[in-house]
Amino acid sequence: MAIQRVSPSSLLAIVVLAGLAAGTYWLVQRTLPSDADRTPYVKQHIPDYYADDLVISMLSPNGATQYRVNAVHMTHFEDDQTTAMTMPAVRAFTPNQPEVTATSKRGTLNADMSVVDLYDDAVVLRQAGPRDPEMRGLSEHFQVLINEDIVRTEKPVQLFRGSSVMYGDGMIFNNITRAVQLLGNVHGTIQPAELGAKRPPSSGVSGVSGPSAAPTAPSAPPQTQQGSKTP
């Protein structure tokens, strides 16, 4: 059996390569920060992903679509997990009830998707039903509470119901009871036809402070209702 001899030049090359590998490893270990020196990453309010033509559906306990959120564009932020939306639309679906839609130019969605804030030319529209005319609210801000099924605003609001119009410093709309409560300095014009109409109490405007308007004859002029400022 022949024995292969290793030449001195080969041994020298092996020693040089081993030295280079050891030196490289030592340099890497010296330049890497230790666990004690590493600064924890702090999330910032910067976008971490985008989406166009956003559609989010919230389901009821029985699996039916309860709310649907649409937006032309959305930007998600990494620090608070909120979502900024362009041209958002929120639709509420209640069995055997007219559909309610809230829209605006921009909006935000919180981290757990339970609160939608609508800003700039915000509109809440309840379609006409068998007993009630169309109802439309205008404000600069509406907040949709998904879990509570409530739409509210702390900003001045105009409320149109059929041919009647009311004004207030705020509004709370309960989508379950279909009751609307106007807040603050409430005033407006209620058409006599609606004053004399028989309708379910939950479908009208409630919570208005001030004198109540009595039904008038159809030929009478519109009635104006003025409320006092609430705290």
Q: What is the CATH number of the domain that holds 73?
A: 2.60.450.10
Q: What pLDDT does residue 15 have?
A: 75
Collapse the DSSP code of 219 into the 3-class scheme (helix H, G, I; strand E, B; otherwise coil) and give the result: coil
pLDDT band at 89; cut points 50, 70, 90: very high
Does 130 fall in a domain? yes
Does 14 fall in a domain? no
- Name the burial class of residue 141, with classes exposed (0-12), middle (13-18) and buried (19+) by CB atoms within 10 angstroms of its CB: middle
DSSP 8-class letter at 35: T
**C-alpha to C-alpha distance for 164 and 151, rounded to whole angstroms:** 20
Q: For 60-84, write each residue's pLDDT tens digit.
A: 888 889 999 999 999 999 999 999 9
Does 95 fall in a domain? yes
Q: What pLDDT does residue 218 have?
A: 37
Does 63 fall in a domain? yes
Q: What pLDDT does residue 187 have?
A: 95
N-term to C-term CA, the chain: 107
Does 89 fall in a domain? yes
Nearest C-alpha neighbor of 159 from the set 198, 192, 208, 196: 208
**C-alpha to C-alpha distance for 172 and 21, rounded to whole angstroms:** 72
**What's this model's pTM, rounded to 2 decimal places?**
0.69
Does 173 fall in a domain? yes
Decide if pLDDT at 203 tops 80.
Answer: no
Does 159 fall in a domain? yes
Collapse the DSSP code of 59 into the 3-class scheme (helix H, G, I; strand E, B; otherwise coil) and give the result: strand
Does 225 fall in a domain? no
What is the total count of domains within the chain? 1
pLDDT band at 206; cut points 50, 70, 90: low
Full domain range(s) for residue 159: 47-189
pLDDT band at 141; cut points 50, 70, 90: very high
- The answer to whether the CB of 73 falls within 8 A of the CB of 47 is no
Decide if pLDDT at 209 tops 70.
Answer: no
| Opening angle at CA 68, ends 74 and 142, nearest 5 | 75
